[in-house]
Amino acid sequence: MKQSIKRVVIAGGGTAGWMAAASLSKLLGKNLDITLVESDAIGTVGVGEATIPTILTLHKLLKLNEQEMMAATSATFKLGISFENWRAQGQDYIHSFGTTGQDCWAAGFQHFWLKGQALGFSKDYGDYCPELVAAKQNRFAVTPKQGLNYAYHLDATAYAVYLRKIAEEFGVKRVEGKIAQVQLHADNGFIRALELDSGQVIEGDLFIDCTGFRALLIEQALHVGYEDWSHWLPCDSALAVQTESVSEPIPYTRSIAHQAGWQWRIPLQHRVGNGLVYCSRYLNDEAAKTLLLENIEGNTISEPRLIRFRPGQRRQHWHKNCVALGLASGFVEPLESTSIHMIQRSIIRLMQNFPLTAIHQSDIDEFNQQTDFELQNIRDFIILHYHVTERTDSPFWRFCKNMDIPDSLKHRIQLFKETGRVFKVPNELFGENSWVQVMMGQGLTPNQYHPIVDMMSDEELQQFLSQIEQRAKQMVGQLPNHQEFVQHYCGIVSSGVK
């Protein structure tokens, strides 16, 4: 059957649905007929309000005006994540964007720092990273020569509304209604159409499942199966609540470890997003709610909302003529703000493998292989935070510290412990600097440094480290206060956005 793939049907709105609609319509849509089906009666999870720098790639492709987008979503800037009480109670570190220090061809900066530390003249590892120094000093600016790597804290619901406007400008049709049934072709099992409660039937050639955890198309209709990761990531519940701002927004996300999980704190311009991710085996819902409400600042402006989840991924993210995005595709807790990133990566991957006529199995296999690979690396990075810890003060932390972990992660930890080496796998999300910051932040110190460091005399090494530290300090010293810059650059009041 050699007809063109023309009719694209997106099931579900929210961040995933409208990101897909805006991207496909603006970047590929001249010859596509795109329909998005969503119901006002079905809420979205919509708590993922922190992003990572890769979001700027999609925004550049879409030619978004950053100031306009940030004002519309009450956004602030993000330079990293502060991990508090993860290594041990009372200890914290920041995993920042950007790079730390200066690498050489044979060895990462951590090797030079390790020798400097042994000789007594290395400062804190973070003092050699401008993004981290700026985060601690609450400073930020967007500079013409892109000085800092950054992302956003944004209102995810408002972000979906902003993207919807773009999608509709480029011809996307929105149909209101609940999906009552998914109709399949009798001969090949492909999806033929979505039938709504109203009786309306929407036919398509390619279907995108953005129906959240329910996964109406990819799972309930096509039964692809699910790979469960809860033996490595035991948290299965989250409570989310919004509070009034009581202080200036800081340019980083806070992740605060508790007895059986962790709490997030994400500052927007007009409010703060808060939540508690926890394991229901070790903490019941009522105790979790009490813990969260006792550890927030400012009055609540919403009721705490309970979300249940199962960490893992679909066994196939693209099956027949259905591609799953967002929560329909899988879930890894938002500890490193990867949810919106994975939606974006899958959209770009779909556009790179977009079919012209028939849907080819080779495209499907490539898409699934790349998605699976990327998700497994993210999974390993998240497990690292739980497993490499000095905490033994609760049953939850004792379980995490002693649990078996994937062989791929075991190797990375062992390699770093013994040699200080980290190698980024091609096409994986987190770079060497991220692995080093988190491994050392969690208390893993390498046993040795690379021999190339000894090519420098002690004086040269001291000078090398000092110059990098001074450069970071000088650069950050010229930046304004984060709140002042946000107000001037994209403030919701100054932009007339309410």
pLDDT of residue 299: 96
pLDDT of residue 493: 58
> What is the rounded distance in angstroms from the CA atom of residue 237 to the CA atom of residue 311?
10
**Cβ count near 493 (within 10 Å):** 11
Closest-CA residue to 12 (of 204, 194, 271, 188): 194
If DSSP codes are grouped into helix, strand and coil, which group holds residue 218? helix
What ranges do the domains of the chain cover? 7-49+155-229+311-359, 93-151+391-477
What tokens does 93 get?
């570190």
**Structure letter (DSSP) for residue 41:** T
Query: Which amino acid is located at 242 in the chain?
Result: Q
Full pLDDT tens readout for the chain, 498 residues:
456 899 999 999 999 999 999 999 999 988 999 999 999 877 665 565 899 999 999 999 999 999 999 999 999 999 999 999 999 999 999 999 999 999 999 999 999 999 999 999 999 999 999 999 999 999 999 987 768 999 999 999 999 999 999 999 999 999 999 999 999 999 999 999 999 999 999 999 999 999 999 999 999 999 999 999 999 999 999 999 999 999 999 999 999 999 999 999 999 999 999 999 999 999 999 999 999 999 999 999 989 999 999 999 999 999 999 999 999 999 999 999 999 999 999 999 999 999 998 999 999 999 999 999 999 999 999 999 999 999 999 999 999 999 999 999 999 999 999 999 999 888 889 999 999 999 999 999 999 999 999 999 999 999 999 999 999 999 999 999 999 999 999 997 544 443
pLDDT of residue 461: 98
Are 430 and 384 in contact by the 8 Å Cβ rule? The answer is no
What tokens does 309 get?
């989840």
What tokens does 315 get?
């066994």
For domain 7-49+155-229+311-359, give the fold: FAD/NAD(P)-binding domain (3.50.50)
Crossing angle, helix 395-402 and helix 361-387, to 10 degrees? 120
Torsion of CA 164, 169, 172, 176, to 10 degrees: 50
Query: Which amino acid is located at 245 in the chain?
Result: S
pLDDT of residue 425: 84
> What is the rounded distance in angstroms from the CA atom of residue 267 to the CA atom of residue 242?
10
pLDDT of residue 43: 66
What tokens does 191 get?
């999806």
Full DSSP string of 82-137: EEESSSSTT-EEEEESS--S---SSS-HHHHHHHHHHHT----GGGG-HHHHHHHH
pLDDT of residue 44: 62
pLDDT of residue 45: 57
What tokens does 34 get?
């795109």
> What is the rounded distance in angstroms from the CA atom of residue 327 to the CA atom of residue 335?
15
Q: What is the pTM of this model?
A: 0.95
- Do strands 7-11 and 33-38 pair parallel, antiparallel, or not at all (unpaired)? parallel
